[in-house]
Structure 1
Amino acid sequence: MKSAFAVDPAVPGLIVKIGNYPLHHGGVGAIRSLGRLGVPMYAVTEDRHTPAAASRYLRGRFVWPTTGLEPAERLVEGLCRIGRRIGRPTVLIPTDEEAAVLIAEHAAELDGLFLFPRTDDPGLSRHLASKQGLHELCVRHGVPTPLAAFPDSPEEVEKFAADARFPVVAKNREAFERRRTPAVPGTTRIDDAEELLALARGWGPRPGVILQEYLPREEAEDWIVHAYFGAAGTEPVLFTGVKVRSWPPHAGMTACAYVVDNPELAAMARRFCAAIGFRGIADLDWRYDRRDGRYKLLDFNPRMGAQFRLFESEAGIDVVRAQHLDLTGREIPRAGQPEGRRFVVENIDLPALLAYRRSGYTTPHAPARAGATELAWLAADDLRPFFTMLARFVRPGARHLMQMYRSRRRTAMRREHP
């Protein structure tokens, strides 16, 4: 079906990623989204056999394995080398915080080779990607967020443990810590002071964690806001939806979600991003706390979210298309979001579905039936990424999923039957 708008086919797009995570459906979605409109698409890939590298819409791949631990100067040099090889100004589409921060903080070196949104504060993306930085911004601008503490020593952990109301949640303070040896493996629930102090013994003299108020899943709902913010004074492209399942359950990436119109949440996100002067694509995770009736901001990813293809306006606009249109000087058509659209990540939604059925958890705002479904991997016009994903995922991926699930089940059973 021909779109109602025209992109500039002379301006390519480049998927930029730092680190080793070859099974990234968001990158595949972005390649398809712009590639279907005739935009030449390029991607940084871990090797020659990733799902992104297999897409029929990919014009060229740049095999560049990185860890996220390289000096910024080396990463900028490598990115500029890719830009010179493409040979014309290219829209950058980062898929992780490291790439988004690198682009924002080294805009001067990348200018001329690439097109990307610019903010007045080049450190804003790093601040938003940090759990502590985001918390500070929320407090400063009056945006609800869970109560949190940021202990800087074992003594501060002990003081927190003596006064805290348990359970609490521990997370790594900085997004970049997952590339190193993280203090905690992810979002970790801690039920009492004894458990906290036992964990803290492995955190060293400077704990890199945030200790956050626990929002009970039976009293909460997970909501998503995806948006593109262009130049000051322009109307943002903004979508809202509800997360039905995630993997790991209740604390991981989206496995299944629906578009649900939420004007209150959209207004909150719009005001916050305007107040901090954010420009570009944003992926925000909110949790609605039924106990006090407030939406609380948990995460702000200053880049495209992996599930961005959940959202497409009635004019065919998603956030990646909006950015390309804006950066190439073209008008972004305005239209509403179709209610009930569903997004499913095939390789993680089946284990998530089984886990959620066992828990009995449901999301009241989820529609009873999907108006349309977009799959993360399978597409009739681009089959190879799906089969490449299967080849890389089935054995090690399934084993890893089951290990995660069994570990969480054992933890839950210990809590229920101490």
Structure 2
Amino acid sequence: MIVKFGDYPLHHGGVGAIRSLGRLGVPMYAITEDPYTPAASSRYLRRAFVWPTTGTEDPDRLVEGLLRVGKRIGRPAVLVPTDEEAAVLIAERQQELGDAFLFPRVEAGLPRRLASKQGLHELCVEHGIPTPVASFPQSYDDIERFARTARFPVVAKNREAFVRRSRPAVNGTTRIASREALLSLARDWGERPGVILQEYLPREEAEDWIVHAYFDADSNPRALFTGVKVRSWPPHAGMTANAYVVDNPELSDLAARFIKQIGFTGIIDLDLRFDRRDGQYKLLDFNPRMGAQFRLFESESGVDVVRAMHLDLTGRDVPEGEQRAGHRYIVENIDLPALLAYRRGGYTTPHAPTRASGTELAWLAGDDPLPFLTMLARFVRPGARHLYQLWRTNRRGGVGGGTGAAPPAESRG
């Protein structure tokens, strides 16, 4: 069952999971904002449970709602969270949810710590995983002290899952060009600013990589994939718009070692940036759940991370197989504006193949056309609003969406 908290109906990852398991005959269910979302229109969805949420509800209310849905399904269903709020809630309330649903049993506090920018930074430092230099100001005075010595531009991100919904400091990952721009923004962040101020990694000197994987109860990888991100939207700061599967043993070993060290189990979606200046892969974001672009990756045996989790949690073997190197993934509604924006930048992806061995579209599928049509019908107004918000953001002195760092958590990328 697709579990999502918050209002983001145009989520291609949920549609991808419904199709991935539904094509194999698995009965699929989903929580949707209304009856007319792309996910709700999929031919592979047995039932949509319409339950509008904001992601800021009391956890007890969310657990009660999930249990009601579980009773209506009538048998244990595998939970597939699509956002940090859902992943954190399932982990922290697993004792209450365990009889009604199937999900990886992870240490209760770990997903929240991984979804926290500060928690992730601390784990990286503890286990020797490269990550950008970061500061976690506790007051406006801290920000003033940081600004006096910081090297600009810097990147600002919302620090914690859940808090980013109720009291967001920035509208996603934000590149701040100057001391004056930082202090101007910080005046609106309140007495305890919920932000991380992070080293800016110049996109001209870097390359964005992604890792998607499923780890079993012993934190062993049952499916692990690596790829390179060609474009994202908003540019350099949003969800993946175009990417390729590219073999990267060094990155695979880094991810597997880190997961083993922290003892995580379940699906992961990692964003890393290869810094050409020092030759290091720097971990920017750790999403302890399915990533929206997970259908980029499939093994030669037909396994993606959602299928791997479903097989493992239902007591079946996960077939081994190499990833489909050279395969391409395109998100139709955001790749065109991303392409136009990237033509003006200096970002390059030398590891991306010159020609794709195959292409997976996020929305359009010949055997399931309605989600694509529903997306088109709903995309026009929010798409225009988002472009207007980007324009307004860029008009504020020295502040922009392009970060050269990680996609924002708000994108559910």
**What TM-score do the two structures reach when normalised by structure 1?**
0.93
Gaps of 5+ in 1: 1-13
Equivalences for 1:266-345 in 2 at 5 Å? 266-345=252-331
Give 1:178 shift.
3.0
Within 5 A, what are the aligned runs for 1:7-406?
14-119=1-106, 121-232=107-218, 234-394=220-380, 396-404=381-389, 406=391
Identity of aligned residues (%): 72
Alpha carbons of 1:28 and 1:149: their partners in 2 closer, same or farther (altered >3 Å)?
Answer: same
Give CA-to-partner distance per residue, 1:166-216, whole Å, 9 cap, x none: 211111111323312311111111122222111111111101110100000
Contact kept in structure 2, 1:23 and 1:50, CA below 8 Å: yes
Matched residues in 1 for 2:394 and 2:49: separation? 40
Question: Which amino acid letter does the alignment assign opposite residue 397 of structure 1?
Answer: P
More off after superposition, 190-199 vs 55-64: 190-199
The CA distance in 1 between the partners of 2:243 and 2:43, in whole Å, is 26
> Which SS does the other structure have where 1:232 is aligned?
coil
Worse-superposed segment, 190-199 or 208-217: 190-199
Deviation sequence 1:206-256 (CA, Å, 0-9, x none): 011101000001011110000000121744310000000000000100000
SS at the partner of 1:79?
A: helix
Q: What letter corresponds to residue 118 of structure 2 in structure 1? A: Q
Residues of 2 paired with 1:127 and 1:181: CA distance?
18
Paired amino acid for 2:208: D
Amino acid corresponding to residue 251 of structure 1 in structure 2: A
**Local SS of the residue matching 1:242:** strand
Decide whether aligned partners of structure 1 residues 141 and 290 sit closer, same or farther in structure 2, where only a CA change above 3 A counts: same
The whole-number CA distance in structure 1 between the counterparts of 2:128 and 2:258 is: 9
Relative distance call for 1:400 and 1:25 in structure 2 (3 A) is same
Q: Deviations over 1:55-89 (max 9, x none)?
A: 00000110000111111001000000100110011
Distance change >3 Å, CA 376–CA 364, structure 1 → 2: same
In structure 2, the residue matched to 1:8 is none
Q: Which amino acid aligns with 1:104?
A: A
Three-state SS of the structure 1 residue aligned to 2:162 is helix
Distance 2:386 2:6 in 1: 20
Distance 1:280 1:413, change over 3 A: closer
What secondary structure does 1:221 align onto? strand
Rounded Cα–Cα distance in structure 1 between residues aligned with 2:374 and 2:229: 26
Between 162-171 and 245-254, the greater mean CA deviation after superposition = 162-171
Q: Which amino acid aligns with 1:216?
A: P
What count of residue pairs does the alignment treat as equivalent? 400
User: Could you tell me how far 1:158 is from its partner in structure 2?
Assistant: 1.1
Q: Contact 2:393 / 2:399 at 8 angstroms: preserved in 1? A: no
CA contact (8 A) 1:265 1:295 kept: yes
User: 8 Å contact 2:156–2:195 — kept in the other structure?
Assistant: yes
CA contact (8 A) 2:178 2:398 kept: no
The CA RMSD measured in Å over matched residues stands at 1.5
Q: CA offsets per residue over residues 107-140 of structure 1, 9 Å max, x none?
A: 0100111000012x20000000000000000000
* Residues 192-201 or 337-346, more deviating: 192-201
Superimposed CA distance per residue, residues 284-306 of structure 1 (whole angstroms, 9 cap, x where no aligned partner): 00001011100000000000000
Q: Are the equivalent residues in 2 in contact too, given 1:258–1:341 (CA < 8 A)?
A: yes
- Determine if contact 2:222/2:318 at 8 Å carries over to the other structure: no
Q: Secondary structure at the match of 2:251?
A: helix
Q: Distance in 2 between matches of 1:216 and 1:411?
A: 21
Structure 2 unmatched runs, 5+: 401-413
For residues 399 and 77 of structure 1, do their structure 2 counterparts lie closer, same or farther at Cα, with a shift above 3 Å needed?
A: same
Q: Is the 8 A contact 1:22 1:46 kept in 2?
A: yes
Query: Scaled by the length of structure 2, what TM-score is found?
Result: 0.94
Give deviations 1:364-383, integer Å, cap 9, x for gaps.
11110111000000000000
